[in-house]
Amino acid sequence: MDLDISAEDLAFRDEVRAFIDRSLPSDTREKVRRGLKLTKEDHVNWHRILHANGWGAPGWPVEYGGPDWTPMQRHIFEEETGRNHCPRLMPFGLKMVGPVIQAFGSDEQKAQHLPKIASSEIQWCQGYSEPGAGSDLASLKTRAVRDGDTYIVNGQKTWTTAAHWADWIFCLVRTDDTVKKQEGISFLLIDMATPGIAVKPIITMEGGHEVNEVFFDDVVVPVSNRVGAENKGWTIAKFLLGHERTSIAEIGRSKAQLEKLTEIAAAEQKDGAPLIDDPRFREKIARAEIDLMALEMTLLRVVSAESAGRVPGPEASLLKIRATELQQELGELLMEAIGYYSHPDTPEAREFGWNEPSVGPDYAVSLSPAYFNLRKTSIYGGSNEVQRGIISKMVLGF
Amino acid sequence: MPFALTDEQKLLQESVDRFVERDYGFDVRTRLAESETGWSAENWARFAELGWLGVPFDEAAGGYGGGPVEAGLIAEGLGKGLAVEPYLWTVVLGGGLLARAGRNDLLEELIAGNLQLATGFAEPQARYALHDVATKAERSGGDYVLTGQKAVVFNAPSADRLIVPARTAGGQTESRGITLFLLPAGADGIALRPYRTMDDGRAAEVTLSSVRAGGDTVLGEVDDGMALIEPAIDVATAVVCCEAAGVMQALVSQTREYIGTRKQFGVPLSSFQVLQHRMAEMFIHKEQTQSMAYMAAVRAAAGDGPAASRAASAAKAYASEKGKLVGQEAIQMHGGMGMTREMPISSFFKRITMIGSLFGDADHHLDRFADLSGGRTG
Ligand SMILES: Cc1cc2nc3c(=O)[nH]c(=O)nc-3n(C[C@H](O)[C@H](O)[C@H](O)COP(=O)(O)OP(=O)(O)OC[C@H]3O[C@@H](n4cnc5c(N)ncnc54)[C@H](O)[C@@H]3O)c2cc1C
């Protein structure tokens, strides 16, 4: 086993770094670095900048406009963009519905949607969860009833991230309720501008607006917008769960957070000395760094197996669990580092361009809200309990 | 009976629980938190009527002869409803300092419900060290002139008077040489920068620019303010641990209710053993936080000294650490619902999180506990 990445990969890493350095708008970098509020435009602009460089669809094969990167190159890209304060590329088009259309879509669907996903012309959101169908996704109730060459869709989705930014939504809908619940589900692409769709914001505990409820009231959807066969939607849902799971590790972003933690702990004082010299706090930073190393090494082993042609299976669950726990651990330490300045709630100071001096140190304004918000990571994307269930079943054979 | 509440204490506990159950629904609480002052003057008047404002003070001072235990029971009960009234800041800490300084004249006002207090026990550079005081009070004739900054002064926006520790002698981190001043909030040279806190409270940065204070504004002895503030903070720490126990109780009961009702896979979430066991853990931590909080309150009631300080630090180290865990678990078991502002559980989570660092986080109190125990750390 070798712990060094190849010379070509190193050169690629330098290329990515240099590109970010050159091309990431400085205000966007600043927002990401300081944890300030990002707009839809921040995400879209960055995506378009990448697209103009031929990097708009990092995980895609060349025939659909992707750069045809190796698993290692994809990993390097994820890490470098995360570490160097790039906004996240919204995953719903690029990592979810895009690969689904590539694998299961018709030629018309490919031609209609893929180029606009790669170029970020069209934004997507994911309509899976419902009020009654969270961990038990297959019990979903939103109904699509066939009417000639259309479906009439009625029901409700919830927790839909970025529905308020999206032009299209991909949905799991019930097309047969007389069979086993997994066998009566279809996968539909729905234009958000269709009459009968209403989006209602859900405000999360720190005051942010990322998620929404989406209501469907007699929404007419052409049958040609179905991906795959009728009642075969569950197969697609499962395909998606296994796809591109290595990016979930968020190694780059966690490295950036660890650096930030180190900087803040050096700036904060405890008993007249930097907090970072406090044995208890030092130990916590060390522990987080070791957790990060363990995750990175595990990820690299998975990436390497992928390069050899293996599709990651339950390792994805391991990565999801440890990555989200690490993100939460770092968020906790960041909040802890700032002592009493974790208390003031100054949402205005979390907006970019707010020019007044902040209540405490500048770096403190977004840390408690981030801590609160990060609780979501162990809930979404298949909760960590559900992931442990997968490992128990698929690896341990229980 | 040892290790049990007296009949009187039980009655007090019941009356607070009744108030919270009847009059402090979550929507009421939200409305109050959103209001201009962030709490209810009407409720405060009721607290006065019910005697809660006078409970911890001596009869000689117009109080009802209770102490930290009774204050703790009130805080615990209020914690279950996440009450936003500044009981901790005005009655427990502010009132505690006035009582120690023998200011019965002002206590009377406080007990009647006509006085709000805030104490500037933290400074930007000090983290949780009470003795790290850079704010200066310099003699000028018979007066003092105060200059400095106080960080995150809870209840300052509502306070009629501020209690401000300032350095009259010694170096910045010396325990000796700190004097407490009681200043009218509107005194010349005092500037407030008010804001809301993460858990829906109110606080402010307080800047003192050449504030003139007469000799009669000194609370307790000149240069010996630590003798007042350290034990007063120990009491407040014990009381906030009681509040933490109340908040944790709410977190546990709401989560129990939620997973008992919410169905996935055709069964209530509570039928999954992994969640049952984790809820059992939450229950254990809540129960033990209550034990530690009562212990700290009883030790504080027995008088100031190392035993009271040690108990306060032990309780707070425990409550900070386990409170965090119980809060995180409560959110996790609520799934997406736990993330919403609308669901009460998220507000309880935010409060238990913020209590975590009040008067010092777990690390601070572990260190202090070890020091007080004669052990050496770090
Ligand atoms: C911020 C955020 C963004 C999201 N974005 C999207 C989105 O864009 N599109 C979308 O479709 N969905 C989205 N989701 C929804 C997310 O996928 C669900 O919240 C998740 O699947 C959990 O479902 P639930 O919230 O209904 O919780 P529940 O399923 O009710 O679970 C509650 C708790 O019980 C546990 N639990 C459930 N079943 C078991 C079991 N069998 N054994 C042990 N424990 C169990 C869970 O792990 C959880 O801790 C988002 C959620 C959040 C919080």
What is the rounded CA–CA span in Å between residue B293 and residue B236?
11
pLDDT at B374: 79
What is the rounded CA–CA span in Å between residue A193 and residue A44?
19
Strand pairing class (A168-174; A185-191) = antiparallel
What letter represents residue B266's amino acid? Answer: G
Select from A202, A380, A390, A391 the residue to mutate for testing ligand 1; criterion: most ligand atoms less than 8 Å from CB. A380
Q: Which atom of ligand 1 is nearest to the CA of B262?
A: 30
Rounded to the nearest angstrom, the distance between the alpha carbon of A386 and the centre of ligand 1 is 9
Report the SS3 class of residue A269: strand
User: Using CA of residue B123, residue B127, residue B128, residue B133, what is the dihedral sign?
Assistant: negative
pLDDT at A309: 83
Active site residue A244: yes
What is the rounded CA–CA span in Å between residue A386 and residue A395?
14
pLDDT at A244: 60
Q: Which residue has the higher pLDDT, A238 or B171?
A: B171
CB contact (8 A) between residue A376 and residue B339: yes
Q: Count of CB atoms within 10 A of residue B359's CB? A: 26
Q: Count of CB atoms within 10 A of residue B199's CB? A: 22
Instruction: List pLDDT tens digits, range B106-120.
Output: 999 999 999 999 999
Using DSSP, how many helices (H) and how many strands (E) does chain A show?
Answer: 13, 11
Q: Which atom of ligand 1 is nearest to the CA of B336?
A: 25
Q: What is the mean pLDDT of chain B?
A: 97
Residue A277 and residue A351 in contact, taking contact as beta carbons nearer than 8 Å: no
Record: fold of A244-395: Butyryl-CoA Dehydrogenase, subunit A; domain 3 (1.20.140)
pLDDT at B377: 42
pLDDT at A320: 94
Architecture of the structural domain at B227-372: Up-down Bundle (1.20)
CB contact (8 A) between residue B275 and residue A158: no
CB contact (8 A) between residue A345 and residue B196: yes
Please state the separation of Cα A147 from the chain's center in Å.
35
Angle formed by the axes of helices B68-81 and B273-301, nearest 10°:
150
Say if B119-224 and B227-372 have the same CATH topology: no
Does A232 sit in the ligand 1 pocket, CB within 6 Å?
Answer: no
Q: Does B198 touch chain A (CB under 8 A)?
A: yes
Q: Does B151 touch chain A (CB under 8 A)?
A: yes
Task: Please list the rounded mean pLDDT of every run of 10 residues in chain A (398 residues).
Answer: 89 98 97 95 97 95 94 95 96 95 97 97 98 97 98 98 98 97 98 98 98 98 98 93 75 98 97 94 98 96 88 87 98 98 96 91 97 97 95 94
Closest approach of B265 to chain A, Cα-based (Å): 6
What ipTM was reported for this prediction?
Answer: 0.97
CA distances, B255 to each of A360, B243, B330, B334 (Å): 34, 18, 6, 7
Burial B291-300 (b: 16+ CB within 10 A, else e): ebbbbbbbbb
What is the rounded CA–CA span in Å between residue B91 and residue B97?
9
Report the SS3 class of residue A186: strand
Select from A137, A140, A159 the residue to mutate for testing ligand 1; criterion: most ligand atoms less than 8 Å from CB. A159
B125-153: average pLDDT: 97
Indicate the pTM of the whole model. Answer: 0.97
SS3 of chain B? CCCCCCHHHHHHHHHHHHHHHHHCCHHHHHHHHHCCCCCCHHHHHHHHHHCCCCCCCCHHHCCCCCCHHHHHHHHHHHHHHCCCCCHHHHHHHHHHHHHHCCCHHHHHHHHCCCCCEEECCCCCCCCCCCCCCCCEEEEECCEEEEEEEEEEEECHHHCCEEEEEEECCCCCCCCCCEEEEEEECCCCCEEEEEEEECCCCEEEEEEEEEEEECHHHEECCCCECHHHHHHHHHHHHHHHHHHHHHHHHHHHHHHHHHHHHCEECCEEHHHCHHHHHHHHHHHHHHHHHHHHHHHHHHHHHCCCCHHHHHHHHHHHHHHHHHHHHHHHHHHHHHHHHHHECCCHHHHHHHHHHHHCCCCCCHHHHHHHHHHHCCCCCC
User: Which residues 311-370 in chain B show a CB within 8 A of chain A?
Assistant: 324, 328, 331-332, 335-336, 338-342, 346-347, 349-350, 353-354, 357, 361, 363, 366-367
Task: Please give the residue of chain B at the shortest CA–CA distance from A267.
Answer: B125
Task: Please give the residue of chain A at the shortest CA–CA distance from B332.
Answer: A379
Burial A313-341 (b: 16+ CB within 10 A, else e): ebbbbbbbbbbbebbbbbbbbbbbbbbbb
Rounded to the nearest angstrom, the distance between the alpha carbon of A207 and the centre of ligand 1 is 20
CATH number, domain A124-231, options 2.60.40.10, 3.40.50.150, 3.10.20.30, 2.40.110.10:
2.40.110.10
CB contact (8 A) between residue B197 and residue A281: no
Q: Which two tokens stand for residue B228?
A: 């007042």
Considering only CA atoms, which of B26, B340, B229 is closest in space to residue A372? B340
Instruction: List pLDDT tens digits, range B242-271.
Output: 999 999 999 999 999 999 999 999 999 999
CA distances, A388 to each of A328, A376, B283 (Å): 17, 17, 23
Task: Please give the residue of chain B at the shortest CA–CA distance from A339.
Answer: B127
Q: Does A271 touch chain B (CB under 8 A)?
A: yes
CB contact (8 A) between residue B339 and residue A345: no
Longest CA pairwise span in chain B (Å) = 79
Burial A127-160 (b: 16+ CB within 10 A, else e): bbbbeebbbbbbbbebbbeeeeebbbbbbbbbbb
Does A211 sit in the ligand 1 pocket, CB within 6 Å?
Answer: yes
Instruction: Using the predicted structure, report yes or no on whether residue B376 has a pLDDT greater than 50.
Output: no
Chain A to chain B Cβ contacts (< 8 Å)? 136
Alpha helix stretches (DSSP H) within chain A: 7-23, 26-34, 40-52, 71-83, 91, 98-104, 107-118, 233-242, 251-267, 279-307, 315-337, 367-374, 384-390
Domain range summary for chain B, segments of one domain joined by +: 7-116, 119-224, 227-372
Task: Using an 8 Å CB-CB cutoff, list chain B residues near A383.
Answer: 332, 335
User: Which residues 201-220 in chain A show a CB within 8 A of chain B?
Assistant: 202-205, 207, 211
Task: Using an 8 Å CB-CB cutoff, list chain A residues near B335.
Answer: 134-135, 379, 383
Rounded to the nearest angstrom, the distance between the alpha carbon of A60 and the centre of ligand 1 is 28
Among A78, A79, A80, A244, the active-site one is A244
pLDDT at A4: 84
Give the burial class of A193: count Cβ atoms within 10 A of its Cβ; 0-12 exposed, 13-18 middle, 19 or more buried. Answer: exposed
Does A134 sit in the ligand 1 pocket, CB within 6 Å?
Answer: yes
Burial B184-194 (b: 16+ CB within 10 A, else e): ebebeebebbb
Instruction: Using the predicted structure, report yes or no on whether residue B378 has a pLDDT greater than 80.
Output: no
B143-158: average pLDDT: 98
CB contact (8 A) between residue A379 and residue B196: no
CB contact (8 A) between residue B125 and residue A139: no
Q: Write B264-273 long-range contacts (CB < 8 A, 24+).
A: B264/A134, B264/A135, B264/A136, B264/A139, B265/A135, B265/A136, B265/A139, B266/A136, B266/A139, B269/B333, B272/A385
Rounded to the nearest angstrom, the distance between the alpha carbon of A381 and the centre of ligand 1 is 8
Task: Spell out the residues 6+ positions from residue A293 whose beta carbon is closer than 8 angstroms to its own.
Answer: none
CB contact (8 A) between residue B353 and residue A207: no
Task: Spell out the residues 6+ positions from residue A318 whose beta carbon is closer than 8 angstroms to its own.
Answer: A298, A387, A391
pLDDT at A1: 79
Domain range summary for chain A, segments of one domain joined by +: 7-89, 124-231, 244-395
Please state the separation of Cα B173 from the chain's center in Å.
24
Residue A183 and residue A234 in contact, taking contact as beta carbons nearer than 8 Å: yes
Rounded to the nearest angstrom, the distance between the alpha carbon of B337 and the centre of ligand 1 is 9
Does A307 sit in the ligand 1 pocket, CB within 6 Å?
Answer: no
Architecture of the structural domain at B7-116: Orthogonal Bundle (1.10)
Q: Which two tokens stand for residue B112?
A: 């009647």
Record: fold of B119-224: Butyryl-CoA Dehydrogenase, subunit A; domain 2 (2.40.110)
Q: Which of B127, B203, B331 sits opposite A343 (nearest CB)?
A: B203
Give the burial class of B376: count Cβ atoms within 10 A of its Cβ; 0-12 exposed, 13-18 middle, 19 or more buried. Answer: exposed
Looking at residue A272, what DSSP letter applies?
T
pLDDT at A97: 96
Task: Using an 8 Å CB-CB cutoff, list chain B residues near A338.
Answer: none
pLDDT at A281: 97
Q: Which residue is closest in CA terms to ligand 1's atom 19?
A: B336
Instruction: List pLDDT tens digits, range B312-365.
Output: 999 999 999 999 999 999 999 999 999 999 999 999 999 999 999 999 999 999
Closest approach of A332 to chain B, Cα-based (Å): 10
Q: Count of CB atoms within 10 A of residue A42's CB? A: 18
Q: Which of B151, B172, B173 sits opposite A340 (nearest CB)?
A: B151
Residue A214 sits at φ, ψ, to 5 deg, of -125, 125
Task: Using an 8 Å CB-CB cutoff, list chain A residues near B193.
Answer: 359
Residue A203 sits at φ, ψ, to 5 deg, of -95, 130
Residue B54 and residue B221 in contact, taking contact as beta carbons nearer than 8 Å: no
Instruction: List pLDDT tens digits, range B188-230.
Output: 999 999 999 999 999 999 999 999 999 999 999 999 999 999 9
Instruction: Using the predicted structure, report yes or no on whether residue B60 has a pLDDT greater than 80.
Output: yes
Residue A298 and residue A246 in contact, taking contact as beta carbons nearer than 8 Å: no
Please state the separation of Cα B98 from the chain's center in Å.
16
